[in-house]
Amino acid sequence: MKCIYFLLMIYKKDGCLYEHIRWGEAFVIVYSVNDRHSFREARELLGQLSKLKLPSYYTSLLLGNKRDLDHCRQICVDDGHELSLQYGCQFYEVSAAENFAGVSLAFQSLLREAKSVQLLKSLPIRRKLGVNSVSKVLGNIFGKNSKGDRKKRPSLSI
Ligand SMILES: Nc1nc2c(ncn2[C@@H]2O[C@H](COP(=O)(O)OP(=O)(O)OP(=O)(O)O)[C@@H](O)[C@H]2O)c(=O)[nH]1
């Protein structure tokens, strides 16, 4: 099976943002937990992402960085969770300065999901699932319950 995984790290807007979003299949959106402005930007980017990518399925990860700076935290973990639920992305809080393991686990998790999506997309046409079915399958994998309650996806704070 021939698979190519694209990973794009969007942090600051550049002139080619829309171009990147068009070809990307997996996205990492990073904000700093001690910077309200970066969280606003993350929300904006997630909105643009869903506008440009839907109805195709894509994989995204919302990453709250600098969690070691708890004393000057401006964004609580629930706000991050809430935003990730709104856009159906994975969510982790990490500290790149303290420990790379959390960042590494978050990326591995994103790639695992991207790989599952690739696998579903590669199914023969007749067996191919629609976007809703793909979401349902991923919901089952990541713990959404059948009644559609907005259960938090697993997340990690290291
Ligand atoms: N305390 C702390 N500092 C961090 C963390 N990650 C990055 N930094 C520091 O934040 C500063 C900016 O990091 P960069 O990698 O340059 O990121 P940037 O996007 O260019 O800058 P910022 O918008 O300031 O975050 C540097 O001094 C980093 O060492 C973290 O998890 N915790």
Q: What is the C-alpha separation between 12 and 86, in angstroms, rounded?
A: 21
pLDDT interval class at 135 (50, 70, 90): low
Tens digit of each residue's pLDDT (9 = 90 or more) over 51-60: 888 777 889 9
CA of 97 to the centre of ligand 1 (A): 8
User: Residues lining ligand 1, CB < 6 A?
Assistant: 11, 32, 65-66, 68-69, 95-97
pLDDT(105) > 90:
yes
Tens digit of each residue's pLDDT (9 = 90 or more) over 88-104: 999 999 999 998 899 99
pLDDT(31) > 60:
yes
Does ipTM come in above 0.85? yes
Q: Where are the domains of the chain?
A: 24-122
Residue nearest to atom 17 of ligand 1 (CA): 11
| CATH superfamily of the domain spanning 24-122 | P-loop containing nucleotide triphosphate hydrolases (3.40.50.300)
CA of 4 to the centre of ligand 1 (A): 30
pLDDT interval class at 119 (50, 70, 90): confident
